[in-house]
Amino acid sequence: MTETMDDAADSALVDKARHGDREAFAELVRGCQAKVFMTIVSFTRNTQDADDLMQDVFVQAYRRLDRFKGRSTFFTWVYRIAVNHTLNFLKRKKREAGRRELDERTVRPADNPASGGPEAEAVREELERRIREAVDLLPLIYRAAFNLVAGQGLSHGLAARALGVTENTVSWRMHRARKMLQAKLGPYLQGGDP
């Protein structure tokens, strides 16, 4: 795998940060902060929890810089810390049931919100709500894979690294998640009301 210019710049920043350069670490954080936040909020469905967890993740990353071996990009390494920290948080808090809805700042806009008028917009919003609810009800291991691949757009390989499993495991979990979602959402997607 060829090292990109960004990877080389990140490596140089990591070296500086290891030697106490806090601005170098701040630059690394700025480069991946938004994606880390969106990943965490996709699991927690709570921006306050996501803010707190993100701060913890970057504190952990700073303290563990000596453990970063450079076998992956800095982003992939931090991403894995974020996923593991978030999954541990969810397990501790048993946040499976009753989590609050995402606030308006974190809901992704529709591809074309102006098309179809108010009725189409209401139908789209209802479908998004039902999809979020169905994803939230997935068992944690399937939800984690689904959020990383479908929600964050990671490849199965990157999701596997973030979750600490094989790529085949991610593929299997995605297959199972889709089947569970299809079973839950099938009647609604076919025009019925479950």
Is residue 169 included in any domain, yes or no?
A: yes
Is the pLDDT at 26 greater than 90? The verdict is yes
How many helices (H) and strands (E) the chain has is answered by 8, 0
The enclosing domain of 162 has a CATH number of 1.10.10.10
Q: Alpha helices of 137-166 — where are they, by DSSP H?
A: 140-146, 156-163
Residue 25 lies in a domain: yes
Total domains in the fold of the chain: 2
The tens digit of pLDDT for each residue in 87-129 reads 888 887 753 333 333 333 333 444 444 456 777 777 778 878 8
* Whole-number Å distance between alpha carbons of 185 and 116: 22
Looking at residue 57, which CATH number applies to its domain?
1.10.1740.10
> In which domain, by residue range, is 177 found?
112-194
Measure the CA–CA gap between 121 and 110, rounded to whole angstroms: 9
**Nearest-angstrom CA–CA distance, 117 and 121:** 6
Is residue 42 located within the same domain as residue 70? yes
- Whether residue 116 sits in one domain with residue 95: no
According to DSSP, residue 65 is labeled G
pLDDT of residue 73: 87
Q: Give the domain-ending residue among 99, 128, 158.
A: 99
Q: What confidence tier does 55 reach under pLDDT thresholds 50, 70, 90?
A: very high
Highest mean pLDDT of the ranges 4-8, 19-23, 120-124, 126-130: 19-23
- If asked whether residues 67 and 91 sit together in one domain, one would say yes
